[in-house]
Structures are given as structure tokens and as C-alpha cells.
Amino acid sequence: MDISEEESALIASWAKRHPLIEQVWLYGSRARGTSRADSDIDLAVVMDFNAWFDWYAQHKTKPDLHLPHEVDLEWYDPVATDSERVGPGVKQDGILLYERDAVMTG
């Protein structure tokens, strides 16, 4: 995983401030450990699909994460069976960084 413990904690703290977020998954090159210095941070956000569009419109350009890398936010449904864009990457390489009402250790 190519993010620091501090960055992971910042992401979890950010997600906790947004009550609609149920889970946040790291995926892509930073999850695989193959990122470059200019790689963004790909985050898959689990929340109610009907709430996603309004929430995303408010947070996509400035997700208030205060990280040193660009952040790409995508909606993710962990139980979807179709071949959505994000699902395969999360299922193959995803690392759960935050889950509401769960204590994350690590």
C-alpha cells in the first residue's frame, strides 16, 4: 500500500465527518503498491446510490481531505454483480480504510 498511516488516518477521519459514507476503499496503483510520485489516490465510496449524485456534486472538486496527492472519488457498491468500472479494481486490490460503526485497526 502506497499511502502512509497518517494519510490513511486522514481519510478515515474525513469519512467519519460525512455521515452518508458507509465505507471507503483504497484501490488502484496506491493499493497495489505500484504508484508513482504523481499518482492520484483512488477512493471508492460506499453510500446509498440515491444520495451519491448530490453528495458527489458538492465534494468532487474539493473533498477536504488535505492530502498531498490528487484524490479521485468514485461510488462503489460492494454487492453489485455487474461489471461496473470501479468494482473489479476494488475486488482485486481494494483495501478497506474506513467502515462506519466499525473500529479499524492496523
pTM, entire model: 0.87
DSSP string, the chain: --S-HHHHHHHHHHHHT-TT--EEEEESHHHHT---TT--EEEEEE--HHHHHHHHHHHSS------SS-EEEEE--TT--S--SSHHHHHHH-EEEEETTS----
Question: In the prediction, which pLDDT does 99 show?
Answer: 96
Band of residue 62 on the pLDDT scale cut at 50, 70, 90: low
Question: In the prediction, which pLDDT does 84 show?
Answer: 72
Identity at 8, one-letter amino acid code = S
Structural domains of the chain ordered from first start? 5-99 (3.30.460.10)
Question: In the prediction, which pLDDT does 34 show?
Answer: 93
Residues contacting residue 5 through CB under 8 Å, at least 6 positions apart: none
- To 10 degrees, the CA torsion angle through 20, 24, 28, 30? 130
